[in-house]
Structure 1
Amino acid sequence: MECVTAPDGLRLAYDVTGEGAPLLCLPGLTRNMEDFEPVLDAFATRAQIIRMDFRGRGASDWGDPATYQVPQEAADVLTLLDHLGLQKVTILGTSRGGLVALVLAAMARPRIAGVIFNDIGPEVMPEGLAYIMDYLGRPPKARTLPEAAAAFPRHYAPAFLGVPDATWAAMARRLFTERDGALHNRYDPRLREAVAPAFAPDAVAPDLWPLFDALQGVPLGLIRGAGSNILSAATAAEMRRRRPDMVFAELPDRGHVPFLDEPDAIRVIATVLEQATQ
């Protein structure tokens, strides 16, 4: 793991593994680069996999929570790409990471070779936002990693079914750190105050469809968990209507967000990577 320094002085953690076409992996709101370990397993021999932690998450520095915003995170992505000397990348964006990809379509469209959206689109379901605000910034209820992993199957059912115990254990390790007899989130709890105004019931969501349309001509992929509470079937259908060439997979027994170890998810990633390098 290495770090690049943003213009405001925050150190942003990143990792580069493998060789081939660059695949930039951007995690969800409270997630970190370790979410993409299954992508490393599947693609390390056929892509240069770049993973990063957004500011305030994972191994990156915490900063002013006012900067925990999608446009700033998009600017941080460009800082990393400039640091690595990469002019163009395919983006695999999980949830928040996919929103960052949409903003980059407006900020730096020529630097996007392709985009794979992991359970996210231009519209977000309000019930999903309410669910996020129910836990965001609050201490974990479990006290140990095994306790957290054991609670996941019940907590995430019925959206997630048939998940191996090892996958839940890996998820607990990625989400939490065990310290002083308690579990701690691997992100700045002030992330809650940064995003709360946008998640308020009376907040007016920005129209992101023009940003999606700005990706015309760019290879696209969409992975949707069939039980998602963030990406509705209607939004996914509209994305496909606007981009009938978009590679698509809907994963049964998965919600928000798929683990990216599912065969159909790997197929979408592989197909878009191939299209982006033609």
Structure 2
Amino acid sequence: MTATRRFQAKDGAWLVYRDEGSGPPVLALAGLTRDGRDFDYLARRLSGIRLIRLDSRGRGGSDWTGSETYSVAQEAQDALTLLDHLGIPRAAIIGSSRGGLLGMVMAATAPDRVAGLCLNDVGPVLEREGLARIGRYIGEKPAVDSLEEIADRMPLVMPGFGEVPELRWVEETLRHYVETPQGIDLPYDPALRQSFDAAMAKPLGDAWPLFDACKALPMALIHGANSDVLSTATADAMQARRPDMIRVELADRGHIPFLDEPAALAAIESWLRLCFPDGDGKPRETEPRSDPDA
């Protein structure tokens, strides 16, 4: 298991990340309630890159900083701060769900820091029905006694998935929940529910300008064919604006694909070759800030 490290965000919060491998840097940003472990499956299959995985504030091992700080803008700034901490001037970004939104914001606000963007089942238009489904379980502790019971129910929690081995649902359970002496708990701050509800109470903003800001970047889209968050119509519109975008639609996958599906891996590898055609993007030799707990 890859050891976690910490860095300090600009507001003083300590955030956790994983840093493994060598080669061009790839920053992996997870979904709303998920953390860097979400990319374990991908990490097993990719080589020749430096994979950096961030636990956004309030998730995984990172500090809980309150619902008012759980915003796309803040989390995108945290990701840039992590690159600064590591002395990385430019990285390719793989963003799953909310992580893809962070990547689009980074491309729009700091284009010189982004070598390319791979979106995992996310785009500039998100379906309210799928978001509402996610909202029903955010911050809710399951009323069961064991992780085994949750694993049995995972296919219901993640609709649209087929041909998934039982062991994979067990692995997913360990990423979504933790077992404590007091019972089953969540690996994230329940206050994420408040920030999510506040965002859902407003009209969804127009994110097409963020997508269009990526026009100079190599792009890839991994789309679950059964996703209730990213529609095929939106994926088609994205492709129309970016005919050169690498795109794969995965059968038997909903929101979000695991990224170790053969077609997903092939797309990611092709995208990485476009991001780093000359093997550039390697980090500068700088000394990151010390971690007092290291």
Gaps of 5+ in 1: none
Query: Displacement of 1:66 after TM fit?
Result: 0.3
Corresponding residue of 1:40: 43
Residue identity over aligned pairs, in percent, reads 45
Question: What amino acid is the match of 1:9?
Answer: G
Tell me, yes or no, if structure 1 residue 30 matches structure 2 residue 33: yes
Corresponding residue of 1:96: 98
Query: Displacement of 1:142 after TM fit?
Result: 3.1
Corresponding residue of 1:198: 199
Q: Could you tell me how far apart the structure 2 residues matched to 1:211 and 1:151 are?
A: 36
Corresponding residue of 2:172: 171
Tell me, yes or no, if structure 1 residue 4 matches structure 2 residue 7: yes
2:118–2:222: 8 Å Cα contact kept in structure 1? yes
Query: Displacement of 1:166 after TM fit?
Result: 1.1
2:25–2:49: 8 Å Cα contact kept in structure 1? yes
Corresponding residue of 1:108: 110
1:21–1:273: 8 Å Cα contact kept in structure 2? no
Q: Could you tell me how far apart the structure 2 residues matched to 1:241 and 1:28 are?
A: 25
Which runs of structure 2 are paired with 1:199-218 in the superposition (5 Å)? 199-200=200-201, 203-218=202-217
**Cα shift readout 1:209-250 (whole Å, capped 9, x = no counterpart):** 111111112000000101101001111000000001000110
Q: Could you tell me how far apart the structure 2 residues matched to 1:136 and 1:110 are?
A: 34
Q: Could you tell me how far apart the structure 1 residues matched to 2:208 and 2:57 are?
A: 26
Corresponding residue of 1:221: 220
Question: Greater shift after overlay, 147-156 or 87-96?
Answer: 147-156
Over the residues paired in the alignment, what is the CA RMSD in angstroms?
A: 1.0
Corresponding residue of 2:290: none
Gaps of 5+ in 2: 278-294
Q: Could you tell me how far apart the structure 2 residues matched to 1:212 and 1:106 are?
A: 8
Query: Displacement of 1:64 after TM fit?
Result: 2.3
**Cα shift readout 1:77-107 (whole Å, capped 9, x = no counterpart):** 0110000000111100000000001111221
Using structure 1 for the length normalisation, give the TM-score: 0.96
Using structure 2 for the length normalisation, give the TM-score: 0.91
1:6–1:79: 8 Å Cα contact kept in structure 2? yes
**Cα shift readout 1:17-39 (whole Å, capped 9, x = no counterpart):** 11111111000000011010011
Query: What SS class does the counterpart of residue 237 from structure 2 fall into?
Result: helix
Query: Displacement of 1:181 after TM fit?
Result: 4.8
Q: Could you tell me how far apart the structure 1 residues matched to 2:12 and 2:48 are?
A: 34
Which runs of structure 2 are paired with 1:1-278 in the superposition (5 Å)? 1-43=4-46, 45-157=47-159, 159-200=160-201, 203-278=202-277
Q: Could you tell me how far apart the structure 2 residues matched to 1:136 and 1:214 are?
A: 30
Query: What SS class does the counterpart of residue 33 from structure 2 fall into?
Result: coil
Query: Displacement of 1:154 after TM fit?
Result: 4.2
Query: What SS class does the counterpart of residue 60 from structure 1 fall into?
Result: coil
Query: What SS class does the counterpart of residue 136 from structure 2 fall into?
Result: helix
Alpha carbons of structure 1 residues 145 and 224: separation in structure 2 relative to 1, 3 Å: same
**Cα shift readout 1:54-93 (whole Å, capped 9, x = no counterpart):** 0000010101220100000000001100000001111000
Query: Displacement of 1:133 after TM fit?
Result: 1.3
Query: Displacement of 1:153 after TM fit?
Result: 2.6
2:37–2:175: 8 Å Cα contact kept in structure 1? yes
Q: Could you tell me how far apart the structure 2 residues matched to 1:48 and 1:141 are?
A: 39
Q: Could you tell me how far apart the structure 2 residues matched to 1:129 and 1:204 are?
A: 13
Query: Displacement of 1:143 after TM fit?
Result: 2.5
Q: Could you tell me how far apart the structure 2 residues matched to 1:139 and 1:54 are?
A: 20
